[in-house]
Amino acid sequence: MKTDTIAAIATGLTDSGIGIVRISGPDAFDVIGRIFIKKSGAPADVTKSHTVQYGFICADGEKIDEVLVMIMKGPHSYTGENTAEIDCHGGVLVMQKILETVLKNGARAAEPGEFTKRAFLNGRIDLSQAEAVIDVINAKNDYALKNSVKQLNGRESEKIRELRKKILYEIAYIESALDDPEHISLDGYRESLYTTLDGITDEIKKLIDSADYGRIVSEGIKTVIVGKPNAGKSSLMNMLLGEDRAIVTEIAGTTRDTLEEQVRFGGISLQIVDTAGIRNTEDIVEKIGVNRARDAAADADLIIYVVDSSVPLDENDHEIMNMIQDRKVIVLLNKSDLPAAVDISSLAAMEKLSGQKIISVSAKEETGFDELKETIQDMFCRGNIHFNDEVLITNLRHKEALQTALDSLRMVKESIRSGLPEDFFSIDLTDAYTQLGSIIGEAVEDDVVNEIFSRFCMGK
């Protein structure tokens, strides 16, 4: 671990009201002592932790900016090291000049995520909490933010440690029994261990099963809009975005490729994909767009099927119904402001749309969209995500480690059923214990740690 002193601008490099330059390491207070004077002319007072001092950052005898300096002594700081933060005016030039002054007086430029990496290496947070920091920064909706904060506060870590404690007890019992069979009996232990593993594997499987839902919470609902040409798909896209993002004309086939945007409402976010109208066509370019529409729909969390209610259904509609059958679908009966050739009852009678939600809307008159939003929230949120203590796995690395641990525990159960010796149990139990430990940063490879923190922004 590097033990030098690092510094970086911790706020965005854009003009703003306030900027922060962060310094952390053994010489942080020495650096501040060289560049900061109080308004009274006295040097910085670093004898007391968690104090704020008012004065000026100076270089070559000239005042660069009027600032507040916060002093935080390790280990009671974010990094666990001596830390100083300079709150200055938020102009890009002044922040850069202050950082240059800091670097000239004993610090080096921090690497991306290095402050949080030091917090992890110094034992202030574990690895899953460190990953939650970047999730908080990148949160795109209310639910993602709440879940990330929960993880940052150690909710997932607590669960992982609880599971590891149970596994460690079994490892220790087996090893002790094998070392001292006269005093520790393994009679009936196989049945007891099998029952214990049933409970542990159920808990791990529940965490793994939460990952798909966790991905939706974290990344948003991948929502693909499909329908025939000129059904109103692009108009729907513009309505949801609140701006004219997609080109809308009366010419069928205007949209030739997928168009992706993100919209947030009601605490959730949607990754919306507008697609080319699906129909049989000889146009080569349009064919490509139609194939991309089908591919996008195959990978969607939610399909919004837009039907033009002013024209009868045809073979293209039935092809779309075949494509979306047994998927999570909302059917929008668009152009309700025009004389109807298709109504809700006729669509509801379609076997391939059985049980799907059908909503009458008019993109032209902007009606029906509140019901659409409420329907999406009911389908994916159920209104209780942020009210319970459920742990949602949103990190692919965590999901893979959980799956490997689960596979190892299943191997133990198979060994029990096959009548193998107890030392075989210990091998796979230890592997499960190690895999769970990798989630919180115990027994994790250095290159994995470096890869995780390389994804952080500078100054964090």
| Class at the top of the CATH hierarchy for domain 220-385 | alpha beta
Burial 90-107 (b: 16+ CB within 10 A, else e): beeebbebbbebbbebbb
The band of 111, judged by pLDDT with boundaries at 50, 70 and 90, is very high
The mean per-residue pLDDT over the stretch 53-67 comes to 95
Q: Which two tokens stand for residue 247?
A: 């080109």
**275-279, 331-335, 409-413: segment of lowest average pLDDT:** 275-279
The mean per-residue pLDDT over the stretch 320-344 comes to 86
- Give residue-wise pLDDT tens across range 158-170: 999 999 999 999 9
Q: Which two tokens stand for residue 396?
A: 């692919």
The mean per-residue pLDDT over the stretch 271-292 comes to 74
Sequence ranges of the chain with CATH classification 1.20.120.430:
130-215+395-441
Residue 129 phi, psi (nearest 5): -70, -40
Q: What is the pTM of this model?
A: 0.74
Distance CA 313, CA 16 (A): 55
Strand pairing report for 108-109 and 268-274:
unpaired
What residues contact 122, with CB distance under 8 A and at least 6 apart? 74, 75, 79, 80, 81
Q: Hey, what CATH topology would domain 130-215+395-441 get? A: Four Helix Bundle (Hemerythrin (Met), subunit A) (1.20.120)
Sequence ranges of the chain with CATH classification 3.40.50.300:
220-385
How many angstroms separate the Cα of 398 from the Cα of each of 127, 357, 386, 402?
A: 11, 35, 21, 6
Sequence ranges of the chain with CATH classification 3.30.1360.120:
6-125
Please, where are the H alpha helices in 181-245?
189-219, 233-241
Say whether domain 6-125 belongs to CATH 3.30.1360.120: yes
